[in-house]
Structure 1
Amino acid sequence: MLDVAFKDFKAKKGRAAMCIIGVMACVLLIGVVNLVLFEMEDGLKGDLGTVNGKLFFEKNGTSYPPVGSIITESLGKEVLDRKVVDSQKSTLALFASLEESSTDNSFTPTVIVGLTPGKEQAFIENTTINGTGSLVGQSSNAVILGSETAKKYNVTVGDTFKVKDNKFKVIGVMSKVGSGWPLTIDSSMVMSLSHAQDISDRPDLISTVIIKPKAQYSAQDAENNLQDAYPKYSIYSENDTQKTIDNNLSQIKIFMNMISLFIFIVSMILIMNVMMMSVKEKTREIGTMRAIGTKRRSIMALIIYESLILSFIGGVIGILLMSPVYDILGILMGAKNVNFFHFAVPSAVVVQVALIVFVIGTFSGLIPAYLANRISPIEALRYE
């Protein structure tokens, strides 16, 4: 039956091409939607990893990264002196968006992270550094860049670059932490706290205290102690980061899944209509096959095989085009230095799309196959 399906597929090239294009468009759209969701979720989970085991003392109502939080440096030093805080592994920190030129159209904002020199590991401990990872003994404009920031400004260790009126010297570049949507750490520019305060015009102010609890205290113990002592402030923890991820993604997931469902239904209807046309065109052929003793399940298999072949070809083309289409989407959103076909589509997305192709091919052929089985051999032989 498979060879008969291929023969019919070749004979009706126009109809087959229409069906393949429909499946390809469906796979491409669903695949890119799922890819965007995958990258966003992966990126946000990467931020969860950078917060792991730490607490962020912030002004109420802020989150991670705490660019909207402003507290006094004196209060931050008071928090560092608490008995639950490991002051050697904790630091005052200032997070701020780098003010860039209006011509910069990157969709990845650069985040300034000002830290106490010698306490850099409180923020960058989960990365490896090309160059040096310490600001101690360096010039006041020394910076350690996240991977995305280095790529954005096309700089490496030893280079000097300028953003508006601010000049920076690169002493280190962090390895990429996230595999998907850019993380805060990947898009960061780490510098001394005093320099960050100067260029962001926030003298004696910080955004947060990055806290590493002492060994004898759990993160929850430290959080409770600090919250009791400072009820007007927030203690942002790993659990809060997870809530932020869920809140950020929930509405987007619902919207994206509705789009995917709509595309899926349209694709199934398209293939089903094409296969029903195929059944109608083959009425005499099916009647002849039934008259010479061909079993009903063989007739059904013939229709489903043809549906699966068309879906498979369209699905493969769609999967192959996912990478360049995703790159084009990145360009439209402001990404630079895009290398087409170099983006590796995650295997989880490929498996998901392949499953969708199989479901489309199988179920869109069921009703036409059922109709084919109901054809009476005598009536079919008289069909014109």
Structure 2
Amino acid sequence: MLDIAFKDFKAKKGRAAMCIIGVVVCVLLIGTVNLVLYEMESGLEGDLGTVHGKLYFEKNGTNFPPSGSIIPQTIGDEVLKRGEVDHDKSTEALFTPIQGSNTQYTMIVGITPGKEQAFIENTTVTGKSSLVGESDNAVILGSEAAKNYNATVGSTITVQGNQYKVIGIMKKVGTGWPLTIDNSMVMSLSHAQSVMEMSGIISTVIISPIGSIDNTETSLQDAYPNYAIYSQKDTQKTIDDNLSQIRIFMNMISAFIFVVSVIIIMIVMMMSVKERTKEIGTMRAIGTSKIKILALIIYESLILSLIGGVIGILLMSPTYNLLGLLMGEKSVNFLSFNIPSAIVTQILVIVFIIGTFSGLIPAYIATRISPIDALRYE
């Protein structure tokens, strides 16, 4: 049956091309939608990964990043002195977003020198990863911030009229979605308070607990009921809150594209069955079973879908990169294929389902063709 299916493709090139193009468009649209969601979720997970194993002591109503939190530094000093807090690995911090170059925002992160790891974790840093012993205007930049300011290690950049010496640049953490850490400009807490005119103010205390995270969280919450303790278990809620509406919208788009693709291929396959009424009738007359006729039509539908699916998957990465270029991404490699395997697998499953479902009704119609009526068909 497969050889008959391939012969029919050669005979009806226009119809086959129509089906393949329809599947390619479907794969590109659904794949791009899923890739955007994947990048957003991966980005948020990467950003919130800085909370791993830590607690953020913040003003009520804020989460991460705590740029909307304003806390007197005296309160932060109290928290750092508590017995359940590892003072050597914990730090007060000031998070303040500013408008950077090229309309991109930059997050100023003021950290106590020597406590940088509380925020940047084990992120690879080119140059120096500590502000200890450096001048007040020394900064460690996230990858996106360095790109926005065309900065290199050792260069001097000007931000809002202030000059900063770049002593280190962090390796990119995100997978495409802009992260706080990638857009950060880490400097000493005192200098951040000075340039932002926020003397005696912090945004959060980044806490490394000495004992259990849950016990430390409960203890701090009881001691400071007017403040919030943001923990690792809150990160998934933050992700869901940020993406819930977007997921619903994107899934509706994907469902609509899926239905349209099934209908298009179904219509084309029904046209194929109608054009081949006499051929199918002849096959039935010489003893071909209904099951084989059914398999023939579904094979055709599946093969067309899989060809379109493979082409669509190969074009997905260049299409996504083109979208990034149109949205302002500066460095794009159209030859790279960086689609996650989970999305490729998902697309192949969708293509298989499209091919199967779109061929069912035409296949059923084909099995109902009467050999006698078919031989009379013109």
TM (norm. structure 2) is 0.96
Deviation at 1:180, TM superposition (A): 4.5
The superposition leaves residues 321-343 of structure 1 with CA deviations (integer Å, 9 ceiling, x where unpaired) of: 21122122223333222222335
Match of 1:33 in 2: 33
Gaps of 5+ in 1: none
1:172 correspondence with 2:168:
yes
Task: Mark the CA change 1:342 to 1:156 in structure 2 (over 3 Å): closer, same or farther.
Answer: farther
Task: Mark the CA change 1:95 to 1:343 in structure 2 (over 3 Å): closer, same or farther.
Answer: farther
Match of 2:97 in 1: 97
Match of 2:246 in 1: 252
Match of 2:205 in 1: 209
1:85 correspondence with 2:79:
no
CA distance in 1, matches of 2:178, 2:70: 24
Q: Secondary structure at the match of 1:96?
A: strand
* 1:105–1:334 CA contact under 8 A, matched in 2: no
Match of 2:269 in 1: 275
Match of 2:303 in 1: 309
CA distance in 2, matches of 1:3, 1:296: 18
Match of 1:300 in 2: 294
Q: Which moved more, 1:295-304 or 1:335-344?
A: 335-344
The one-letter code matched in structure 1 to 2:111 is L
CA distance in 1, matches of 2:265, 2:70: 57
Match of 2:186 in 1: 190
* 1:93–1:116 CA contact under 8 A, matched in 2: yes
The superposition leaves residues 263-314 of structure 1 with CA deviations (integer Å, 9 ceiling, x where unpaired) of: 0000000000000000000000001111111122221121111111211121
RMSD: 1.5
* 2:89–2:207 CA contact under 8 A, matched in 1: yes
CA distance in 2, matches of 1:198, 1:322: 47
Deviation at 1:222, TM superposition (A): 1.1
Match of 1:43 in 2: 43
Q: Which moved more, 1:195-204 or 1:77-86?
A: 195-204
Gaps of 5+ in 2: none
The superposition leaves residues 42-92 of structure 1 with CA deviations (integer Å, 9 ceiling, x where unpaired) of: 111112321011111111100100011111112111111111111111001
Q: Secondary structure at the match of 2:99?
A: coil
* Aligned length, in residue pairs: 378
Of all paired residues, the percent bearing the same amino acid is 71
1:331 correspondence with 2:325:
yes
Tell me which stretches of 4 or more aligned residues in structure 1 moved more than 3 Å. Answer: none
Deviation at 1:150, TM superposition (A): 2.2
CA distance in 2, matches of 1:381, 1:225: 86
CA distance in 2, matches of 1:239, 1:368: 51
Task: Mark the CA change 1:153 to 1:342 in structure 2 (over 3 Å): closer, same or farther.
Answer: farther
Task: Mark the CA change 1:348 to 1:364 in structure 2 (over 3 Å): closer, same or farther.
Answer: same
Match of 2:354 in 1: 360
* 2:100–2:148 CA contact under 8 A, matched in 1: no
CA distance in 1, matches of 2:33, 2:234: 27
Candidates 184, 187, 196, aligned match of 1:200: 196
Match of 1:135 in 2: 131
1:59 correspondence with 2:59:
yes
The superposition leaves residues 185-216 of structure 1 with CA deviations (integer Å, 9 ceiling, x where unpaired) of: 222111111221223222221110101111xx
Match of 1:118 in 2: 114
CA distance in 1, matches of 2:344, 2:164: 41
The one-letter code matched in structure 2 to 1:65 is P
Q: Which moved more, 1:314-323 or 1:176-185?
A: 176-185
Task: Mark the CA change 1:100 to 1:124 in structure 2 (over 3 Å): closer, same or farther.
Answer: closer
Deviation at 1:154, TM superposition (A): 3.0
TM (norm. structure 1) is 0.95
